[in-house]
Amino acid sequence: MTAAVPDDCLAHNDWICGAYLTSRSEILEEAVLQHLQLSMTSVALALLLAVPLAVAARRWRWAAGPVLSLTTVLYTIPSLAMFSLLLPVYGLSTSLVIAGLVLYSLTLLVRNILAGLRAVPEETRQAARGMGYGPVRLLLTVELPLALPAAMAGLRIAAVSAVSLVTIGAIVGFGGLGNLIYSGMNTYFKAQVLTASVLCVLIAVAADFVLLGVQHLLTPWMRQTRRRGA
C-alpha cells in the first residue's frame, strides 16, 4: 500500500505557501537579521568614508576630479569581479561582502554630499566667517546641516541599493535572504524564492521610509520653507 502524499502547499510546491512561513520561521528570521546587518554595516561604513572624501573634494578643487573618478570606477566593476578582487584580502567571510558594498555605496554618497556642500551659498559661508566661525565649526554647524537634504537623498539610494546588492553575497555564502533565493532557485523551491524576494523588497521599502523620516526630523527648516511657499 503506497503512502499518501500530504495535500498541502509544500507538497504541491506552490508559490504562495503559509506552511513555508510557519515551518521555516527560524531560517527566515536568521536570513533577515543577516541581511539587515550586512546592509546597515556597509552603508554606515561607507558614510564614514564618504563624508571626509566629499569635504576634501569641496575644500581642495584639485581633489574633486580624482575622488569622483575613483568612486565612479569602483561602481562600474561587476559584483562578481569585485568579490574576486577582494577575496585574497578578506577570504570567504561577511567582511568580503561588506567591503564590496562599501565600495559600491561610496559613489552615491560622495556625489550627493559633495553636491550638497557645493550648494551652500557663498554669502552664508562669508557671514559665518564674519561671526568668527573657524573651518571646523563652519563645516559642522553650517555647511553639513545645509547639505543634509542632498546627503540624505544619496543615503536613501545607497541604502536601497545595498539591500539589493546584499543578495549577491550568496555566491560566497553570506547573502542574507539572497542565500534562500539562490538555494531556492537551484532546487526550484517556489515558496522559498518568492518569500525571500518579497522580504528583500519590504526591507528596501522600509529602509527608504525610515531614512525619509530621519531626513524630515533633521531638516525642520525645509518644512518651514514649504509652508511659506504654500
Q: Is the pLDDT of residue 215 over 50?
A: yes
Residues 30, 138: contact at Cβ < 8 Å?
Answer: no
> pLDDT tens for residues 49-86?
999 999 998 888 888 888 888 888 888 888 888 888 88
Q: Is 149 a member of any domain? A: yes
Alpha carbons 8 and 81: distance in angstroms, whole number = 42
Q: What is the CATH number of the domain that holds 168?
A: 1.10.3720.10
Name every residue whose Cβ is closer than 8 Å to that of residue 90 and which is 6 or more positions away in sequence.
Answer: 96, 99
Q: Is 12 a member of any domain? A: no
User: Mean pLDDT for the chain?
Assistant: 85
Q: Is 168 a member of any domain? A: yes
Q: Is 222 a member of any domain? A: yes
pLDDT at 4: 45
Count of domains forming the chain: 1
Domain that holds residue 205: 42-175+199-229
